[in-house]
Amino acid sequence: MRHIAIIGSGPAGYYTAEAAQKLWGDDVRIDIFDRLPVPYGLIRFGVAPDHQSIKGVSRRYEKTALTDNVRFVGNVAIGEDVTIAELQQFYDAIVLATGAPRDRELAVPGNDLGNVYGSAEFVGWYNGHPQFADLAPDLSGRTAVVIGMGNVALDVVRILSKTRDEFAGSDIVNHALDALTASPIERIVILGRRGPHQISMTPKELGELMELEQASPQVETADLPDEAEDAILEPGLRKSVAHLRSFAAIRRAIHGEKRIAIEFDFFASPVALLGDGRVEAVEVERTEVVKGRAQGTGETYRIPASLVVTCIGYRTAPIEGVPFDERMGRFANDEGRILDGLYCVGWARRGPTGTIGTNRPDGFGLVELIAADMESGKLGRQGKRGREGFDKLAADRGLDIVTFQDWKKIEEAEHSAAREGSPREKFIAIEQMIAAKGS
């Protein structure tokens, strides 16, 4: 019997479990740990609340979760409640699927001013993550600056722009829905340090800006390269740039009809955040793109801003004793192997790139690597105690473990509490989740 511990119950964790289950069938026991009492990580707390069809992938993870040899072990923080070294006594292989939950820091003066948030915090707030649910960003100002031109920036811009009606069917938490829809915001500037050909926004997500009821995307025609130059772009990016061109073309027609302007500011690198205690403006340097890189031109200007959200990428949270690549912000690893018997997968392995689906081949590839290590004898003799050993340790330590059946009770309570048309009202405090599972 093989015993595998997977740390993290997001997409990378569940795809890895699915792969292990497919390969070894009844010859494997898999425990999926999560520090929270609820599963699915990024699906619950990262994917935008108005993208319910993407969240539907959790049904696939549930299928894996409900197989006999896979177990959810919620409310246990590995590295705090239990160490990796302790897990190594019980499991043949440990897989860190902990994602990249920390914000990359925008290293400019003023980044610690009030009402400046990283996207992990801001997205965590509107998605009801217990760590960020009481963030209480002040949305009473009129201009927000969103830094970065990736899909997370698009999520944040869209969520800041929607009307209450447009959130119908979403699972945005009530506190965020109320704050967002009461906001008088009328200008959202998206800053990109490079140009339209260097954005990381995908076409479908960019196209959604055109459908917003009260906001219109605006692009300056002068920022767009000559259309013939689009031919060299890969097809997805070419489609995204086509959207930017249509934003530039329609600008005059709809400008004025809609309350909120979403302005794309290209070749614009933030150099300082200004304000007295809380942010009031962003100082920006004009750039030009030289050999694909942004270079400052020395010309600067200021954008008034009462709220700043940086959407410039994420870092994995280190775990004591596990080798970490500081520069890349993820575990130090070779194709997923950190040390013999200790592995990483998903964003914790490769950094915060790719779609949810990218984690599937990642998980399947990692299980092949673990299988090869087992075959070659690298992982030592089998015969560890697996979950039985862990359960004894957890009982001795008085850990209040949340099982998948407990989660189903929590989920049921969330369904019952949903406002009309919404799939669920999430519990935002760990104590509420624990109370909902009962004893």
* Binding-site ranges for ligand NAP (CB under 6 A): 106, 147-153, 155, 192-194, 198, 200, 202, 205, 269-270, 311-313, 352-355
Q: How far is CA 103 from CA 14, 106, 317, in A?
A: 23, 9, 10
Q: Shortest gap between Cβ of 226 and ligand NAP (angstroms)? A: 21
Answer whether 203's CB lies under 8 Å from 239's CB.
yes
Tokens linked to 330: 């993820």
Residues 6+ apart with CB under 8 A from 4: 17, 20, 28, 29, 30, 31, 91, 92, 93, 94, 95, 370
| Residue, CB closest to ligand NAP | 150
Helix, strand, coil: what percent of the chain each, to 5?
40, 25, 40
Burial pattern 335-352, b for ≥16 Cβ within 10 A else e, equals: ebbbeebbbbbbbbbbbb
The burial class, CB within 10 Å (0-12 / 13-18 / 19+), for 432 is: middle
Pairing of strands 324-325, 330-331: antiparallel
Q: Which residues pair with 102 in a beta bridge?
A: 315
Q: Shortest gap between Cβ of 27 and ligand NAP (angstroms)? A: 35
Among 119, 160, 166, smallest CA distance to 141 is for 160
Among 220, 268, 263, 262, smallest CA distance to 245 is for 220
Q: Shortest gap between Cβ of 46 and ligand NAP (angstroms)? A: 7
Q: Shortest gap between Cβ of 138 and ligand NAP (angstroms)? A: 23
Q: Shortest gap between Cβ of 431 and ligand NAP (angstroms)? A: 30
Among 139, 161, 144, 150, smallest CA distance to 216 is for 161
Q: Name which of 313 and 341 has its Cβ closer to ligand NAP.
A: 313
Q: Shortest gap between Cβ of 419 and ligand NAP (angstroms)? A: 24
Q: Name which of 61 and 90 has its Cβ closer to ligand NAP.
A: 61
Q: How far is residue 76's CA from residue 80's CA, in Å, rounded to a whole number?
A: 8
Q: Shortest gap between Cβ of 124 and ligand NAP (angstroms)? A: 13
Q: Name which of 351 and 365 has its Cβ closer to ligand NAP.
A: 351
Q: Shortest gap between Cβ of 45 and ligand NAP (angstroms)? A: 12
Q: Name which of 89 and 355 has its Cβ closer to ligand NAP.
A: 355
Q: Nearest 5°: phi and psi at 28?
A: -140, 145
Q: Element (H or E) spanning 61, and its range?
A: helix 58-65
Q: Shortest gap between Cβ of 385 and ligand NAP (angstroms)? A: 38
Q: Name which of 240 and 269 has its Cβ closer to ligand NAP.
A: 269
Q: Name which of 25 and 296 has its Cβ closer to ligand NAP.
A: 296
Pairing of strands 70-74, 337-339: unpaired
Q: Name which of 79 and 192 has its Cβ closer to ligand NAP.
A: 192
Q: Name which of 152 and 434 has its Cβ closer to ligand NAP.
A: 152
Q: Name which of 154 and 173 has its Cβ closer to ligand NAP.
A: 154
